[in-house]
Each structure stands twice: as structure tokens, then as C-alpha cells.
Amino acid sequence: MPAMRYQESLNHRIVRYAALGAFIFYLAWNVAWIAHGRIPPSILRAVGGIPCPTTGGYRSFIALCRGELVQSFFYNPLMPVYLLLFIYSMAVLFHQWLNRKRLVLRPLFAWMWCASLLIGWAAKFALGRQYW
């Protein structure tokens, strides 16, 4: 039994360090672009040539704020969904933090995020390269 616990612990540490490394790379990527006065491009698009589900989110938000609903939709059709999920997720985490509870979202949120990102990715491909 202890060998199995050790393996689970090792797997947990590997996943944790991989996630931490990916997050550090993501931050470094964005800081480097912002330091040069540019909006950071999607890493997935820059490296693999395919869009990220959230590509165009900033442009979509700005167009939405200007009242350009059709243009906002074409930049990223799921931006309002992502925005609502983000605000709600942050509110739940903030409430947990205030109450000194463990910061964790329910599995339903993970499924909602995954589903919206997959639908958003399909939508990006359906809309075409001009909106990536």
C-alpha cells in the first residue's frame, strides 16, 4: 500500500510542477510582449498556428463596450460566457478566501469551463481565420 501512496504523491507533484511551469511560461510570455508595448498574441496560435478558444476576447469585449454587437460576436462569440464564468468563479474564490476556506471550485465549474472552451474553439474554426 505505501508504494501506491508514493506513486500517487509522485504523480501529484509531477502534475503540480508541470502546471506551475506552464503558468510561469504563460506569465513570462505575456510580460515580454507587454514590456514591448504590444498585446500578447495567443501562444497556441504563435506556436501551433491554431487559435486559442479565447483568442479575440479583448477585441470582442471592446467591441461589446462600444455597442458593436455583431463585431463583438465575430471576434469571439463566447466572450460573454467566459466573462460571466470568470466573474462568478472569482466571486466564489474570493468568498472562500474571506472565510479562510480552501480555494477550490466545484467540479461543475470545471465542466462548464471545459464545455465553453471547447464550444468556443469550434466556433473559432467555424468563423474562419480572419477572426483569429
Number of H helices, E strands in the chain: 6, 0
Residue 77 clears pLDDT 90, i.e. is over it: yes
Residue 30's identity, in one-letter code, is N
Does residue 53 or residue 17 have the better pLDDT?
17
6 touches 25 (CB < 8 A): no
pTM over 0.85: no
Angle CA 64–68–69, to nearest 5 = 70
% of the chain exceeding 90 in pLDDT: 65
pLDDT in the model for residue 25: 97
Alpha-carbon gap, residue 86 to 88, rounded angstroms: 5
52 touches 44 (CB < 8 A): yes
